[in-house]
A and B are shown apart, each in its own frame.
Chain A
Amino acid sequence: MSSQTVVVVGSSVGGVRTAQALRREGHVGRIVLVGEESTEPYDKPPLSKQYLAGEWALDRLALLTPEAIAAADLELRLGVAAVRLDVAASQVVLADGAVLDYDHVVIATGAVARPSPWQAGSGVHVIRTLADVDGLRADLAAGGPVVVVGGGVIGAEAAATIRTLGHEVTVVDPLATPLARLVGPEVGRPLEELHRRRGVDTRFGVGVEGIDGSAGNLTVRLTDGAVLTAATVLVGIGAVPNDAWLADSGLLIDNGVVCDRYCRAVDSDHVWAVGDVARWQDPRYPAEVRVEHWTNAVEQGAAVAHNIVHAEDLQPYSPLEYVWSDQYDWKLQIVGHASRGGRFEVVGDLSADPAKAAVLYADDDGLLTGVVAVNWPKPLVTGRRALNAGATDFEEFVAQIRALFAKVSAPAAP
């Protein structure tokens, strides 16, 4: 038992935090962390925020200090991809030919940006890795207008950052409002208004037909017949799990590594998955789910570490969904389900500048299902506790948040 080796494949937040959690849980054997990128493990959220803005240098993105690596006694194998998983032999094969024997392997290879379906000569970017953002920044440095395709979290955030850098920016998305997969128009419209107030040209409800030209001289043809010119185009249309390297592993791969409720691959008791690449059977839902949020990667890593170290006490993984996004001066936080078309109450004013508000959501039974907070963490964390406790009466919760608002409704200090 004491000589067991855990190999963690993927060296971003999911893999790194799993490795550290293994040590916290009391794993005493080797922990080997394998990462394709040669950069020291770095965090992704700042890539569309402070790093893209040029406010933070790379060292601010580090997920591990030398002290933390020493404290958790991690063996890092960076700059080499895992190319094969041999489940029968319990081995991970690396691109340089090295073979790692494991007792347990944790798959944390995350996701890649969905590639642009529109081909142009050059100047069309995605954001997922450091290299992606460095390439984008190099093109942005030449100046000129920017078209952002996709008004989801990454597209909308990057649009805000690029606009703040001084570029002319147009956002195009076939959906009706920004962040439409997470929130309804009650939040999306004020957010679109914020982008417009800051000078972004927004084209929601319109798709892209094609992109032609090359860096510095691109044209973007829209489904409504409009033609936009751009020096640089950023395509933010989602992510796809990084599971191709597992194709011949014999594991069930279906839009991610398919796992049981313990985040263990359905085909092997020694293979686990965490983060954006994991599709697991959350006991609350009828089918397996995959979540592309930061806190999920961290919490799932802790759950997997517990289950590896305490095989006698397997715990199902059933987290409360949480995601945040920073756009201009909006700090947006979402917990639970912000059901679209369902019942909701707004406390505060999302159209104020600066905004400070919460939107509270209920199901048909009059129970709280989710909270969206803007520049006001208190209702978010209050809602998270209520959702964790379960069966929170919506009317009572609304009254509680209104009372909180009355207490702090003096305008936020700048």
Chain B
Amino acid sequence: MKVQIDSKLCQGHGRCYDLAPDLFGEDDEGYATLTPLTADGNVPDGREGDTRLAAANCPESAVLVFEEAVNDRR
């Protein structure tokens, strides 16, 4: 699974980095960033559920999740 933050869409609701603080971070103003764990755009194995949770909670759909295989459901 891959993940990106669309910073044009992000409005700093802070849902992603509150729900999955090791996968998402915040800049000085409060807008979302990736973290060392996700900086290369890859979701660590076993963290697909947390990534989907963050995406589901983003009011701006700014957490972009790219599902790779349907059977990695968690």
Q: By the criterion CB–CB under 8 Å, are A378 and B11 in contact?
A: no
- Given known pairs A298-B57, A381-B30, the reply for A24 and B18 (CB within 8 Å) is no
Which of A64-72, A139-147, A362-370 interfaces with chain B? A64-72
A71 and B12 CA atoms in complex are apart in Å by: 27
Contact of A128 with B by CB under 8 A? no
What chain B residues lie within 8 Å of A324 (beta carbons)?
11, 13, 59
A-B contacts, CB under 8 A, total: 73
The dominant DSSP class at the A interface is helix
Q: Is the CB of A377 within 8 A of B28?
A: no
- In the bound complex, what is the Cα–Cα distance between A70 and B52 (angstroms)? 13
Chain B residue nearest in CB terms to A16: B56
A122 CB to nearest B CB, Å:
34
Whether A70 contacts B70 by the Cβ 8 Å rule is yes
**Given A68-B67, A295-B57, A298-B57: A331 and B18 within 8 A (CB)?**
no
Residue of B nearest to A293 (CB): B59
Asked if A380 contacts B12 (CB within 8 A), the reply is yes
Does residue A384 face the partner (Cβ distance < 8 Å to B)?
yes
Is B73's CB under 8 angstroms from A23's CB?
A: yes
Find out whether the CB atom of B30 lies under 8 angstroms from the CB atom of A378: yes
Does residue A177 face the partner (Cβ distance < 8 Å to B)? no
Cα distance, A180 to B30, chains bound together (Å):
26
Q: Which chain B positions have C-beta within 8 A of A196?
A: none
- Whether A310 sits at the interface, judged by CB under 8 Å, is no
- A377-B11 in contact given A298-B57, A385-B18, A407-B28 (Cβ < 8 Å): yes
State how many angstroms separate the Cβ of B18 from the closest Cβ of chain A: 7
Query: Which of the residues B28, B61, B67, B74 comes within 8 Å of A378, measured between beta carbons?
Result: B28
* Chain B residue, CB-CB nearest to A70: B70
Residue in chain B with minimal CB distance to A294: B59
Cα of A326 to Cα of B30 in the assembled complex, Å: 17
Contact with A along B13-42 (1 / 0, CB 8 A): 111011000000010111100000000000
A338–B60 CA distance with the chains assembled, in angstroms? 24
Within A375-414, which residues are at the interface with B (CB < 8 Å)?
Answer: 376-382, 384-385, 407-408
**Would you call A218 an interface residue if the criterion is a C-beta within 8 Å of the partner chain's C-beta atoms?**
no
Chain B proximity mask over A68-100: 1 for CB below 8 Å, otherwise 0: 101111000000000000000000000000000
Whether A21 sits at the interface, judged by CB under 8 Å, is yes
Chain B residues within 8 Å of A264, by CB: none
The residue from B15, B26, B30, B52 contacting A20, defined by CB atoms under 8 A apart = B52
> A45 in the interface, Cβ–Cβ < 8 Å?
yes
B46 contact set on A, CB distance < 8 A: none
- A377 near B70: Cβ-Cβ < 8 Å: no
Least CB distance, A398 to chain B, in whole angstroms: 18
Q: Is A17 an interface residue (CB 8 A)?
A: yes
Having A71-B52, A324-B59, one finds 18 other A-B pairs with CB under 8 Å, namely A20-B52, A20-B56, A21-B56, A67-B70, A71-B67, A71-B73, A72-B73, A73-B73, A294-B59, A298-B57, A302-B53, A333-B13, A376-B30, A377-B30, A378-B29, A381-B18, A382-B30, A384-B18
Q: List 21 A-B contacts (CB under 8 A).
A: A17-B56, A20-B52, A21-B53, A24-B74, A43-B61, A67-B70, A68-B67, A71-B70, A295-B15, A324-B13, A324-B59, A326-B11, A377-B11, A377-B14, A380-B14, A381-B12, A381-B30, A382-B30, A384-B18, A385-B18, A407-B28
Which residues of A line the B interface, CB within 8 A? 17, 20-21, 23-24, 43, 45, 67-68, 70-73, 294-295, 298-299, 302, 322, 324, 326, 331, 333, 376-382, 384-385, 407-408
Q: Which residues of B contact A (CB under 8 A)?
A: 11-15, 17-18, 26, 28-31, 49, 52-53, 56-57, 59, 61, 67, 70, 73-74
